[in-house]
């Protein structure tokens, strides 16, 4: 049998939900009706707990006719009620939004990150936070626009957060630099990232075909691989790249192997030595002949400078100057424009050839020719 207090709570909850349901079911209300509704719902909110208020908070915050006094009551409840209000109240004060985006709890900041509209300052403050729940909500919100500074801040965190990196790569509506996010990319996306980096090197006429390989480093890695000293290999590569060991370790653990292949290219390790390193890696690709061939082809076809761009971006390495080459679009095939131009030339050539016999026939039929 329910206690008197529980029965009262259930009755208030039912009355509150029924009254709010009837209110939001209509688009417009008269002034007298709004005053009565404000008085009734205000009294019910005052005598019930926040958990019950939270069940109707979103509906009230979304409706344009909800009296401002009720919205203030919901804000004042704090907790889940406040989070709902910050997410759904259209005309919430910008100053409060920005302040809580910067200093509010992670749960409150995540609610703000899901708003349909956000001032630029709030977006910047949210992008500068470190909590995953906030950043995931922000990047998943496709209704807001990121400026260059916010994207840079997000990309910095995403370099070490694969879930955030994947969310950024899924946003086709923003111009995110994909190179730091390479490890989170799909195989098709990796191909496009590499092609874009190669084209950047070609556009800027960076020629490293004659760059000498690092035979000493290759020999050291070869010996360490034969001995199964994975940690020592990670440390040696991290030192050569001036990169963090934890980031280099992620490259070694990446199942696709493309990042590791590009690392070997960037370090000047020859293809034959790299092949032995793959075979001794202990990874699934070590027994996958097709994968080994694909990685060899990747190493053969990727200029050292292009590989260094991507590897430097993955690691945030200080020894790689990525600003010296321009970044080209990567979501579309980087070679599509060139191929389209070639196709157009072929079509024009075919049209000219098909027209030539007609011209000759006309010339023969002309008595004055």
pLDDT in tens, 260-273: 999 999 999 999 99
Instruction: Give me the sign of the Cα torsion angle 42, 47, 50, 52.
Output: negative
189 or 335: which leads in pLDDT:
189
How far, in Å, CA of 268 to CA of 7, rounded?
76
Per-residue pLDDT band at 200 (split at 50, 70, 90): confident
**List of E strands, 46-116:** none
24 contacts 60 by C-beta, under 8 angstroms: yes
Average pLDDT over residues 33-58: 93
- Residue 75's pLDDT is 95
How far, in Å, CA of 327 to CA of 177, rounded?
8
- Residue 369's pLDDT is 37
Residue 192 has pLDDT above 70, yes or no: yes
Residue 360 has pLDDT above 60, yes or no: no
| Nearest one of 99, 76, 75 to 87, comparing CA atoms | 75
Per-residue pLDDT band at 134 (split at 50, 70, 90): very high
Per-residue pLDDT band at 214 (split at 50, 70, 90): confident
Cα–Cα distances (Å) from 156 to 159, 168, 313, 344, in that order, read 6, 12, 10, 41
Average pLDDT over residues 261-289: 94
Q: Which long-range contacts (CB under 8 A, 24 or more apart) does 109-116 make?
A: 109/134, 110/134, 110/136, 110/137, 111/83, 111/84, 111/86, 111/87, 111/137, 112/86, 112/87, 113/137, 113/138, 113/141, 114/87, 114/140, 114/141, 115/86, 115/87, 115/88, 115/141, 115/144, 116/90, 116/143
Cα–Cα distances (Å) from 350 to 67, 276, 354, 355, 360, in that order, read 72, 49, 6, 9, 16
How far, in Å, CA of 173 to CA of 171, rounded?
5
110 contacts 137 by C-beta, under 8 angstroms: yes
């Amino acid at each position: 049998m329910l206690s008197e207090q529980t029965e009262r709570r259930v009755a208030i909850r039912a009355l509150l939900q029924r009254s709010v349901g009837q209110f939001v079911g209509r688009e417009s209300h008269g002034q007298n009706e709004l005053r009565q509704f404000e008085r009734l719902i205000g009294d019910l909110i005052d005598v019930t707990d926040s958990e019950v208020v939270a069940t109707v908070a979103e509906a009230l915050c979304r409706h344009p006719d909800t009296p401002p006094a009720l919205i203030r009551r919901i804000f004042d409840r704090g907790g889940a009620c406040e989070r709902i209000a910050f997410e759904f109240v259209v005309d919430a004060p910008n100053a409060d939004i920005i302040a809580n985006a910067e200093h509010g709890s992670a749960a409150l900041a995540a609610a703000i990150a899901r708003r349909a509209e956000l001032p630029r300052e709030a977006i910047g403050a949210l992008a500068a936070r470190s909590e995953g729940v906030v950043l995931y909500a922000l990047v998943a919100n496709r209704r807001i626009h990121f400026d260059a500074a916010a994207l840079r801040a997000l990309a910095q965190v995403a370099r070490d957060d694969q879930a955030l990196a994947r969310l950024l790569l899924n946003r086709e509506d923003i111009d995110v630099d994909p190179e730091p996010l390479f490890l989170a990319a799909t195989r098709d996306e990796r191909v496009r990232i590499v092609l874009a980096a190669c084209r950047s090197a070609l556009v800027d006429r960076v020629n490293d075909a004659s760059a000498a390989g690092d035979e000493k480093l290759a020999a050291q890695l070869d010996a360490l691989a034969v001995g199964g000293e994975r940690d020592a290999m990670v440390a040696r590569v991290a030192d050569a790249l001036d990169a963090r060991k934890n980031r280099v370790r992620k490259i070694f653990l990446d199942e696709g192997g493309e990042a590791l292949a590009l690392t070997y290219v960037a370090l000047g390790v020859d293809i034959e030595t790299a092949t032995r390193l793959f075979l001794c890696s202990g990874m699934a690709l070590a027994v996958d002949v097709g994968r080994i061939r694909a990685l060899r082809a990747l190493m053969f076809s990727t200029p050292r400078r292009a590989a260094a761009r991507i590897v430097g971006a993955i690691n945030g390495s200080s020894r790689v100057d990525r600003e010296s080459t321009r970044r080209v679009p990567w979501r579309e095939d980087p070679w599509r424009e060139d191929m389209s131009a070639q196709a157009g030339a072929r079509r024009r050539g075919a049209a000219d050839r098909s027209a030539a016999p007609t011209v000759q026939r006309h010339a023969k039929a002309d008595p004055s020719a």
